[in-house]
Amino acid sequence: MRLIKKCISGHGGGYVVLCPLEAEDMWHAFNIIAVGDSIKATTIRKVVKEGDTAVQSQRVKVTVMIQVSKIDFDPVECCIRVMGKNIEENKFIKLGAHHTVELEPNRNFTVTKLNWDSLFIERIETACNPSKSASLAAVVMEMGVAHVCLVTSAMTLIRAKIEKSIPKKRAASKNHKDGVAKFFEQVLQAIVRDIDFEIVKCVIVSSPGYVKDDFFKYLVEESSRRSDLKDLLKNKDRFILVHASSGYTQALDQVLSDPGIQTRLADVQAAREVQVLHKFFKMLNENSEKAFYSYGHVQAAQDRGAIASLLVSDSLFRSTSIKTRKQYVDLVEACRASGAQVHIFSSLHPSGEQLEQLSGVAAILRYPLPDLDDLEIHVESDDDYGGIPCEEMYF
């Protein structure tokens, strides 16, 4: 996604001009636009003209601004259909007339909101900053040379290049061993500095020979020994070791084109969401006092600072109710402020569909709260909780 212009006031109102570049950007755009927003974009309109002898019709390109009343996303056609009333009169479309605008890749559009909350801003930053949308990282190395990269669907970003002269291996000499250790330490520090495991789901470590294996052994040993590397130890299962012809980025193209590697990557990248959902279901069966779902119970747990992991479907942030969206945004912000891990599930993925069957929001707690089972949650309307039937919100 390309951010063309951003004009948001200190009160939260304003507009942004965006240009989606690929299919994933269209999904981001779908999650940015909400009912009640204003959309300005070019569209094709059929215009009928009455002449002296006949009625003629032609298709003209026109810029239209509508207030959104409905929005649909078509993942097959990769387009967004926005429906609403025209709020800016022009010679082709009357003020107040209903119109449908199709948003497509490589076409600018403007979104105007009365309130750009933190999750809307976060979504734009994620879509427009490749490093924040790169769920795959790679370390391509050979002895003395390494490249730490972030890989998106459109490009490979080199975040660090490490080059170090390593003495040759000789009997009764520590120079080679010390040189290798210093080289591995530099690569390890680059991973810590440039790879965000809140975003990156998988890290490929590739090299000729056994360099990758020796480095990964060093990484595990050091992260087990040093307190400042505990995050690496916790995410060691995200590393995949594969053979590459060299330590340069050209070799990464060969690795990524391997169908077997692609299958392994898909499994690992989806594993984070699947694992946390599996953990929730397991907790719900074995220790239900530490696992709750529905907004009322999850919010009550957050009020007590008890949430360790929050699971929430992105469909809840597309609610037609401003009140509903705000309460889920507030919940996410409060959980993050208290140190809880927040997992936002895509409603297009199977794990997200499973979560939606449980009201779309769930939580794993730090400690049991048995009294929450007896808490009676009153629901004002179905729309307040993303359209979940009221009777499903009671325990």
In degrees, to the nearest 5, what angle opens at C-alpha 322 toward C-alphas 43 and 325? Answer: 100
- 2-128, what's its fold? SH3 type barrels. (2.30.30)
CATH topology of domain 132-257: Nucleotidyltransferase; domain 5 (3.30.420)
Rounded distance, CA 154 to CA 342, Å?
27
Q: How far is CA 106 from CA 103, 181, 274, in A?
A: 9, 47, 33
H or E element in which residue 353 lies: helix 350-356
The domain ranges of the chain are 2-128, 132-257, 269-393
**Rounded Cα–Cα distance for residues 351 and 315 (Å):** 13
pTM as predicted: 0.62
Q: What confidence category does residue 133 fall into, taking pLDDT thresholds of 50, 70 and 90?
A: low
Phi-psi region of 273 (alpha: psi -120 to 50; beta: other; left: phi over 0): alpha
pLDDT at 129: 77
Assess whether pLDDT exceeds 50 at residue 386.
no
pLDDT at 271: 60
Q: Are 311 and 277 in contact (CB under 8 A)?
A: yes
Residue that the structure tokens 């998988």 belong to: 202
Lowest model confidence (mean pLDDT) among 71-80, 128-137, 228-237, 272-281: 128-137
Arithmetic mean of pLDDT over the chain: 84
Query: What is the helix (H) or strand (E) element at residue 48, kind and residue range?
Result: strand 38-50
Average pLDDT, stretch 220-235?
A: 91
pLDDT at 305: 93
Architecture, CATH, for domain 269-393: 2-Layer Sandwich (3.30)
Tokens of 278: 């599996």
- Per-residue model confidence (pLDDT) at position 160: 92
What is the C-alpha separation between 107 and 4, in angstroms, rounded? Answer: 11
pLDDT digits (tens, 9 = 90+) for 194-204: 998 888 888 99
The answer to whether residue 192 scores a pLDDT higher than 80 is: yes
Q: Do domains 2-128 and 132-257 have the same CATH topology?
A: no
Query: What's the rounded mean pLDDT across residues 368-394?
Result: 53
Per the CB < 8 A criterion, the answer to whether 304 and 363 are in contact is: no
The pLDDT of residue 191 is above 70: yes
